A and B are shown apart, each in its own frame.
Chain A
Amino acid sequence: MYELNITRPETLADAVEALGHDEAMALGGGQTLIPTLKQRLANPETLVSLTGIAELSGISRDGDMLIIGGTTTHAEVASGATDYPALAALAGGIGDPAVRNRGTIGGSLANDDPAACYPAAVLASGATIVTNTREIAADDFFEGMFTTALHDGEIITAVRFPIPQKANYQKFDQPASRFALVGVFVAQTADGVRVAVTGASEEGVFRWTDAEAALSADFSPTAVDGLNVSADNLIGDLHGTPEYRAHLVKVMTKRAVAASG
């Protein structure tokens, strides 16, 4: 790791100020950033640790919305998001207990790993990402592998999830990395069904709109039987071919519908 300074502000205003400098970078739970720094793939002069800022952490309810602070850990969501059980279960399936005790929702979304779990929940729920300057709809947030709509120095302060009527996340684990080889999040709301797929595409998380239409008409696993998932642009690596991932998208979708509560 290159040399760096760490600052630990206690207010959002101080963090925004510290991140205003070039070569400064936010530090969430560090579960992705610290390994990246060890490989010298990033070289920030200053890390601005967000985890000491009380106002950025915690889970609250506002009408039919569940609001999760940007530095809330995966473990806190797993045990605290009881109003949205599918989301709690997703958080409880990320990595392992030690990773969940440090990793944060804001860090996961800002990082936008193509195999990460939270992007699927955010996109399928039609959640809103709240930053220190604006609100970004999930449909506008993810811009491809490791790329989001966030500007330099912008901080995810919270994520607002509308609570669906029914939802479920099915993750086919890649057992070595513990990320998703393919993960599918299905959410049914009064406006219809949304299906978001992670782990599968070279473009990062995406909505499977054919399945959304079929499931909005008939919310049952067999509703997607006649659909085909194209292997074009899907990830192929030593863990699975694009065709294998395409097959898994459909299987995981059916399982998620069957398990939706």
Chain B
Amino acid sequence: MTQVSMTVNGESVSGDVEDRTLLVEFLRETLELTGTHVGCDTSQCGACVVHVDGKAVKSCTIFAAEAEGAEVQTIEGEAAPDGTLSTLQQAFQDNHGLQCGFCTPGMVMSAKALLAENPKPTEAEIRAYLSGNLCRCTGYHNIVKAIMAASGQDVSSIAAE
């Protein structure tokens, strides 16, 4: 067992965990932050994407011990404390960017990383950036639309499909 400490959504947290504990297990099981999802557990689907020191990572493919001392952001940190959705979350809702919602935490965290790097991405840039985030429901179209809308771009030319 090792003690790991990090900041999650601005709060200092720590826990005693086995060394083999993955970051996603630490988040979901130790901290009970179950917004971060495990879709595949094989590094393919991106449902588990969180930010570690500002960078999008698959939390199923990094040990909790490797995030020692890091600033971690999860989907739980997106909305304001009173529940008001972030611009990105609101855009997903407004543009019907989710159906079952399983992929959504990872999609939002990936999209947030994209917009931090590239505030006005093109449709092609958005699709390329989401290549590691799989969605079984939406067909991606409305996710792309939501991200364009959240970046303040006109989405009226993107036909609904």
Q: How many residues of B contact A (CB 8 A)?
A: 28
Partner among B19, B62, B113 whose Cβ is within 8 Å of the Cβ of A97: B113
The 8 A CB mask of B36-62 against A (1 = contact, 0 = none) is: 000001110010010000011110111
Stretch at the interface among A1-9, A105-113, A137-145, A149-157: A1-9
**For residues 14 through 72 of chain B, which have their beta carbon under 8 Å from a beta carbon of chain A?**
18-20, 22, 41-43, 46, 49, 55-58, 60-63, 65-66, 68
Give the docked Cα–Cα distance between A97 and B58 (Å): 10
A30/B132 in contact, CB under 8 A: no
Give the docked Cα–Cα distance between A6 and B22 (Å): 12
The 8 A CB mask of A102-131 against B (1 = contact, 0 = none) is: 100000000000000000000000000000
Give the docked Cα–Cα distance between A31 and B129 (Å): 18
A30/B63 in contact, CB under 8 A: yes
Q: A101 on the interface (CB 8 Å rule)? A: yes
Q: B2 on the interface (CB 8 Å rule)? A: yes
Give the docked Cα–Cα distance between A34 and B58 (Å): 11
CB distance from A9 to the nearest CB of B (A): 13
Q: A213 on the interface (CB 8 Å rule)? A: no
B55/A38 in contact, CB under 8 A: no
Interface residues on A, range: 20 to 34
Q: B156 on the interface (CB 8 Å rule)? A: no
A34/B62 in contact, CB under 8 A: yes
Partner among B43, B46, B66, B68 whose Cβ is within 8 Å of the Cβ of A35: B43
- Residues of A contacting B42 with CB < 8 Å? 35, 38
Please, which residue of chain A has its CB at the minimum distance from the CB of B22?
A: A34
A6/B43 in contact, CB under 8 A: no
CB distance from B36 to the nearest CB of A (A): 13
Give the docked Cα–Cα distance between A47 and B18 (Å): 13
- Residues of A contacting B110 with CB < 8 Å? 97-98
Give the docked Cα–Cα distance between A15 and B8 (Å): 29
Give the docked Cα–Cα distance between A197 and B20 (Å): 36
Contact A101 to B57, CB < 8 A, known contacts A34-B43, A49-B66 = yes
A35/B65 in contact, CB under 8 A: no
- Residues of A contacting B114 with CB < 8 Å? 97
B57/A98 in contact, CB under 8 A: yes
- Residues of A contacting B60 with CB < 8 Å? 34
Give the docked Cα–Cα distance between A75 and B131 (Å): 15
A6/B63 in contact, CB under 8 A: yes
The 8 A CB mask of A180-215 against B (1 = contact, 0 = none) is: 000000000000000000000000000000000000
- Residues of B contacting A34 with CB < 8 Å? 22, 43, 60-63
- Residues of B contacting A1 with CB < 8 Å? 20
- Residues of A contacting B63 with CB < 8 Å? 6, 30, 34, 47, 49
Give the docked Cα–Cα distance between A5 and B22 (Å): 13
Q: A229 on the interface (CB 8 Å rule)? A: no
Partner among B22, B56, B131 whose Cβ is within 8 Å of the Cβ of A101: B56
Contact A6 to B56, CB < 8 A, known contacts A30-B61, A35-B61 = no
Give the docked Cα–Cα distance between A31 and B66 (Å): 13
The 8 A CB mask of A70-82 against B (1 = contact, 0 = none) is: 0000010000000
Write 6 A-B pairs (CB below 8 A) sorted by A numbering: A30-B62, A34-B60, A34-B62, A49-B63, A97-B129, A99-B58
Residues of chain B touching chain A, judged by Cβ–Cβ distance below 8 Å, are 2, 18-20, 22, 41-43, 46, 49, 55-58, 60-63, 65-66, 68, 110, 113-114, 129, 131-133
Residues of chain A touching chain B, judged by Cβ–Cβ distance below 8 Å, are 1-6, 8, 30-31, 34-35, 37-38, 47, 49, 51, 75, 95-99, 101-102, 178
